[in-house]
Structure formats: C-alpha cells, structure tokens
Amino acid sequence: MIKSDKIENTKDFRISVAPMMDWTTRDYRFFARLFNPNIVLYTEMVTTGAIIHGDAKRHLDFNSQEHPLVLQLGGSNPQDLTTCTKMAEDWGYNEVNLNVGCPSDRVQNNKIGACLMAEPNLVAECIDQMQKTVSIPVTVKHRIGIDDMQSYDEMLHFVDTVAATGCTHFVVHARIAILQGLSPKENREVPPLRYEDVYRLKRERPNLTIEINGGIKTFEETQQHLQHVDGVMIGREAYHNPYLLAEFGQFWNLDMPDRFNIMQQMMPYIEKRLAEGAPLS
C-alpha cells in the first residue's frame, strides 16, 4: 500500500478520464498514464459490498504509476461508505468519488447511482461521514437531473445540500438520466447535453470546483469548456482514442510521446501481469 498525497494540479484546472465499467481497469489505467503524467484517472465504480464482502485486494490494488488516481464508490449506506473510504486512503488513493450518476437499473435496485439525486439529504449524510474519516478529498459525480427532476433549480438544491457538508468538488454529467425506459448506453446518447446548466452552476457557485462531463471528444472542445468551468472529464473517447490524452499534454507544455516508446513501456508490464496469472483487460 502506498500512502498518497492529495492531488495537486500544475495548473488551475483539471483534466480527468471518467470512471467506466469494464473499461477503466487497472491495465487500461497503466496504459493511459503513459500518454500523460498529469491527467487524473478513475477506477471503475466499485460497490461498497464488493469491497467489504468480496475480494478487496482485487478491487483496490493498482500500480503506483497510475497516480493521481481516484476510487469511485457505489453505495448509499453511510457506514459502509465510510469503511471503504478509509480503506481507499490506506490503500493509497488520492481521492474518493461517490457515484450519483449511473442510471443502470441494476444499481438502482441497490440504491446506487443516479437515483440518489432524489435523496440529497442521504447523499449529504454519506459525504459528511466519508469526509470525517479521511484527510483525502471526497467528491461527487452526478447528473444535471433525473426523470421528472430536470430543472436547474432542482440540481442546484442537490448541490447546495451536499456542499453544506464541506464538499467542494462536483463532477457534473451534463445530461439528465432517465431511470426507466432507457438503457445505460441510451442514457449517454438520448438525453440532450445541457452544458449551459453546468456553466451556470459554476457562475452561481464560484467557490465550488465544477468539472464538466458528457460528449467531450477533442482538445479544442476541452479548451472551450475550460473557459467556463474548473475541469473537464473525458469519457469513452479516452478509451477509443487514447492518443487524445497525449494531446492534452499541450496544457502543460509536454512533448508528444512516441507511440513506439509507449509500446515498449507496456511490454514489461504485460509480461509481469501475465506471470501473475492476471487476465489483462
């Protein structure tokens, strides 16, 4: 286990790769880190039950080169979330993020993900308890709304309720989530993007760190969003086009990495993982 420091940005903004089930595995994260040393990486969402009652080592282990690294938790029981948040700090994670954005009916049934936007007081209780047990930041990733809670004012009420605990960092997926009738894939595509709602949130709550997510695919789009918010989270484009992460090096005046060198750096890692009997993913 590696004792971590808080994430320190070299600029007054943040670029991150979104937590994505089955995609942001530890092997992908090691690969992604080779393209850019400064972007923030997230794990897949891990439920509190999987950590507490399952194989914690399998879910929490990572390579030290993955830093800065955030563990995203799924859950709504304050005690369980507190336990897992403390484990994350001890394991060496830089931050913990609570998932309040996943629209899957599979997690809704366990009161996980976007359905929690309807219960801001419960989310606030969870965040409050999580923050009290660790020194690393605890953040929230959420949608701009769900189902019939689609107004800006309702999102603002959710954010204000959670922010009253002292939480200052919110990652906002700029779409509502339709919890009945749309699949998770459709929820990433069908509800229209409402970037202006996220911009407005930053204008009206300038003391909060607001990071935008949803449909962002290029360096130029990222530059545009950074005129309005504190950070940009890239989703599936970072998986389909990992060299985009190298393009973001322009923000830090980094040289573009050589693709062949990246391949060479991956080989010892792959050999080590295979020797451990790990399935590469």
Instruction: Catalogue the active-site residues.
Output: 102
Q: Is 272 flagged in the annotation as binding?
A: no
Q: Is 140 helix (H, G, I), strand (E, B) or coil?
A: strand
Residue 30: both structure tokens together: 């090691």
Q: Is 87 flagged in the annotation as binding?
A: no
DSSP conformation class of 41: E
Q: Is 141 flagged in the annotation as binding?
A: yes
Q: Is 20 flagged in the annotation as binding?
A: yes
Q: Which residues contact 161 (CB under 8 A, 6 or more apart)?
A: 120, 121, 123, 124
Q: Cα 72 to chain center, whole Å?
A: 6
Other Cβ atoms closer than 10 A to 77: 17
With contact defined as beta carbons under 8 Å apart, do 83 and 48 qualify? yes
Q: Is 75 flagged in the annotation as binding?
A: no
Q: Is 263 flagged in the annotation as binding?
A: no
Q: Round to whole Å and give the CA distance between 281 and 246.
A: 21
Q: Which residues contact 92 (CB under 8 A, 6 or more apart)?
A: 1, 2, 3, 4, 62, 64, 67
Q: Is 181 flagged in the annotation as binding?
A: no
Q: Is 109 flagged in the annotation as binding?
A: no
Q: Is 279 flagged in the annotation as binding?
A: no
Q: Is 173 flagged in the annotation as binding?
A: yes
Q: Is 206 flagged in the annotation as binding?
A: no
Segment (H or E) for 24: none
Binding residues for FMN: 19-21, 72, 141, 173, 213-215, 235-236
Binding residues: 19-21, 72, 141, 173, 213-215, 235-236
